[in-house]
């Protein structure tokens, strides 16, 4: 199987795939196996190079030749990461997260796959979301093979729209099954035209997403960040709320969710989505290993 080499300076594959953005890539050998859209892919990273193997594909030769560009786009290797990180606020909490997460990039995810995954993420830990994603793929997706290992594409909205809530519940979704099914039907029918929403303003896009079953502000912001490349979007989940309250508002007794959202938008700026992901990953990976550090005086 041919190996394609892609220059990937300023990129850390493992940190990016394990940072809670996507939930289906699996460690395999010296790298990872998974899918980008319908393409089965193996990736490993020696230094600043990505070594990529693609599964067999019946696509025309011109589309096959475009696969390296698909990888480059998926991992946002064109994002000016050094410039983005330099724009982060200079404070001890953000500095520690930036240093810990060096090379983490915001993945450009397929819109439906991202939306469905985060509908399934409500009140779930990353390990549980991965289990749900695997079950959905194995039950409803298409089987593919890469390096002798089987992977499954994420099921289309049409495929899920034709199933039942009870079958989705068997994938571990619980009450989320009803929301995923209802949203799949809207997307499959064209009522929710995800691709055309790319042209909407940030406010309009958030409003459209929040009209979908199972989508609140947090999920909408995740989809905006990871699928629509709205890099200023700042999802506030349990981990990020804890970071903001403990590190930036430790001496304030009454802090509302809106106060946190307004603070994040103003303080972290136009690349707030990147800052959020760095804070999120750093908090998850280090919280159990060391006690909370002193809060920042300027936000007391």
Residue 288, pLDDT > 70, answer no
Lowest mean pLDDT among 45-59, 120-134, 145-159, 245-259: 45-59
Whether 63 is covered by a domain: the verdict is yes
CATH number at residue 20: 3.30.310.40
What ranges make up the beta strands (E) of 37-127?
Answer: 39-44, 49-54
Q: Which residue has the tokens 């589309």?
A: 63
| Cα separation, 129 vs 1, whole angstroms | 32
Beta bridge partners of 150: 145
Whether 300 is covered by a domain: the verdict is no
The pair phi, psi for residue 88, each rounded to 5°, is: -65, 150
Query: Mean pLDDT over residues 281-299, rounded?
Result: 60
Count of structural domains within the chain: 3
Write out pLDDT tens, residues 160-213. Answer: 999 999 999 999 999 999 999 999 999 999 999 999 999 999 999 999 999 999
Residue 294, pLDDT > 50, answer no
170 and 268 assigned to the same domain: no
**pLDDT score, position 232:** 96
User: 14: which residues sit within 8 A by CB, 6+ positions away?
Assistant: 32, 45
| Cα separation, 272 vs 265, whole angstroms | 7
Q: Long-range CB contacts (< 8 A, 24+ apart) of 107-110?
A: 107/16, 107/21, 107/22, 107/74, 107/75, 107/76, 107/226, 108/73, 108/74, 108/75, 108/76, 108/226, 108/227, 108/229, 109/21, 109/22, 109/74, 109/226, 109/227, 110/37, 110/154, 110/227
Q: Is 235 in contact with 276 (CB distance < 8 Å)? A: yes
116 and 217 assigned to the same domain: yes
Which of 226, 250, 269 is the endpoint of a domain?
Answer: 226
Write out pLDDT tens, residues 157-169. Answer: 999 999 999 999 9
Full residue range of the structural domain in which residue 279 is found: 80-100+229-294
Reported confidence tier of residue 55, pLDDT bands at 50, 70, 90: confident
115 and 222 assigned to the same domain: yes
50 and 145 assigned to the same domain: no
Cβ atoms within 10 Å, residue 145: 12
Residue 295, pLDDT > 70, answer no
194 and 277 assigned to the same domain: no
Residue 261, pLDDT > 60, answer yes
Write out pLDDT tens, residues 71-119. Answer: 999 999 999 999 999 999 999 999 999 999 999 999 999 999 999 999 9
Write out pLDDT tens, residues 107-136. Answer: 999 999 999 999 999 878 889 999 999 999
pTM, two decimals, is: 0.91
Look over the chain and give the mean of its residue pLDDT values, rounded to a whole number. 92
């Amino acid at each position: 199987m041919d190996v394609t080499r892609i220059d990937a300076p300023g990129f850390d594959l493992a940190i990016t795939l394990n940072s809670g953005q996507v939930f289906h890539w699996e460690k395999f050998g010296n790298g990872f196996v998974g899918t980008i859209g319908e393409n089965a892919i193996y990736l490993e990273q020696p230094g600043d190079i990505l070594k990529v193997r693609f599964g067999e594909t019946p696509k025309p030769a011109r589309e096959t030749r475009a696969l390296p560009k698909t990888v480059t786009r998926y991992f946002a290797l064109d994002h000016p990461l050094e410039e983005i990180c330099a724009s982060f606020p200079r404070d001890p909490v953000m500095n520690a997260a930036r240093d810990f997460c060096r090379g983490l990039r915001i993945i450009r995810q397929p819109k439906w796959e991202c939306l469905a995954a985060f509908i399934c993420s409500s009140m779930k830990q990353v390990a549980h979301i991965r289990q749900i994603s695997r079950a959905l793929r194995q039950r409803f997706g298409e089987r593919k093979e890469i390096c002798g290992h089987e992977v499954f594409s994420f099921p289309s909205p049409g495929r899920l729209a034709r199933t039942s809530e009870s079958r989705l519940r068997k994938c571990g979704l619980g009450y989320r099954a009803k929301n995923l099914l209802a949203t799949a039907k809207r997307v499959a029918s064209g009522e929710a035209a995800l691709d055309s929403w790319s042209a909407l303003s940030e406010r309009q896009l958030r409003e459209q997403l929040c009209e979908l079953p199972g989508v609140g502000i947090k999920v909408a912001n995740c989809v905006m960040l990871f699928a629509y490349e709205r890099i200023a979007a700042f999802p506030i989940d349990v981990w990020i709320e804890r970071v903001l309250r403990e590190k930036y508002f430790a001496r304030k007794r009454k802090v509302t969710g809106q106060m946190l959202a307004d603070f994040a938008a103003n303080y972290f700026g136009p690349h707030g989505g990147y800052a959020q992901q760095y804070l999120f990953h750093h908090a998850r990976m280090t919280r159990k290993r060391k006690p909370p550090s002193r809060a920042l005086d300027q936000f007391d």
